[in-house]
Amino acid sequence: MAYPDRLARRREPGSTKAITVGGRGIRLALTSGVSEPELFVCVDVDAGGADSFVRLASGVEREWLPPERISTRIEVIFDEKAERLAARKITRFDDLVLDEVNAHIADESEAASVLASAAAERFEKVLPTPDSAAGEFRTRVRCLRAWIPELELPAFEAADLREALQWLCRNRRSLSDVRNGPWLDFLKGQLTYQQLQIVESEAPERIEVPSGSHIQIEYAEGRPPVLAARIQEMFGLTETPRVARGRVKVLLHLLAPNYRPQQVTDDLASFWKNGYPLVRKELRARYPKHSWPDDPLTAVAVRGAKRRQE
């Protein structure tokens, strides 16, 4: 105890390298007789070099250490390789680790804090994917914010989303758990009831087409929304659908029966007049069981195949 700050623990059995209280690296002289003890006290130390050189040391038995300077606690850490939390039961003399073993995570508050810190440093890995429910909702809100700025919808920038990490990390153990967490609940919770209603009405997830199908719209920032539907499901619709209080036209991908695009347009009236006759001529022989009326504006929209009546 004359040199408590010089207590050292060998880095591995038989090694001349060790670490002391305070985290200083040291290296034993090759001529040292202290070749086996895991713990030793450094008596004569040369502070030069990356690792201090120890000329004289003395082995120490574990039971010699005063118990009042030994502490044991369970610590939650983030495993970089596994990208998940782990818990270790660590015993120390002052700040020198004497031993550590795997343990069970008991402190949920500490676990959430550690995981939130790790997630903040690897934010791209915990953001919901663009094709997830949360990712799609975020895109819809951001698009509507650009189209109707007076609504003052939240921007949902990365800095805004980081604020949710502490909450999202509760009772979770990995970056994957966070990415798959309740992001959608968080995002919706940032909007008022009125704003939520506006998002659903002015940037709807789906649009009902004349056939009765409710078809999903694909949103992307900086581009018009896209609706892909088979031509037969659009019969009778005279105008291009719009969103954002009528300010934005939906870009239509009009599909053949094999679901391949035959026309991409934001002018449906022009397609019925100019494009449809050409498409009808080309496809009616290939798909005779599908409806190809002369007048698509008065024809009944259908979802599946229908024997040609005309």
Does residue 244 have a pLDDT over 60? Answer: yes
Q: What is the pLDDT of residue 11?
A: 92
Mean per-residue pLDDT, 246-251: 98
pLDDT per residue over 97-121, tens digit each?
999 999 999 899 999 999 999 999 9
Contact yes or no for 54/29 (Cβ under 8 A): yes
Q: What is the pLDDT of residue 301?
A: 95
Rounded to the nearest integer, the mean pLDDT of the chain is: 93
pLDDT per residue over 125-148, tens digit each?
999 999 999 999 999 999 999 999
What whole-number distance in Å separates Cα of residue 5 and Cα of residue 249?
73
Centroid of chain to Cα 151: 27
Confidence class of residue 307 from pLDDT cuts 50, 70 and 90?
very low
Does residue 50 have a pLDDT over 80? Answer: no
- For the full predicted model, state whether its pTM sits above 0.75: yes
Give the ranges where the chain is alpha helix by DSSP (H): 108-121, 123-126, 133-147, 158-162, 165-168, 175-179, 183-189, 193-202, 268-270, 276-283
Q: What is the pLDDT of residue 49?
A: 63
Q: What is the pLDDT of residue 306?
A: 61
Phi/psi at 52 (5° precision): -60, 140
Does residue 83 have a pLDDT over 80? Answer: yes
Contact yes or no for 192/198 (Cβ under 8 A): no
More confident of the two residues 45 and 1: 45
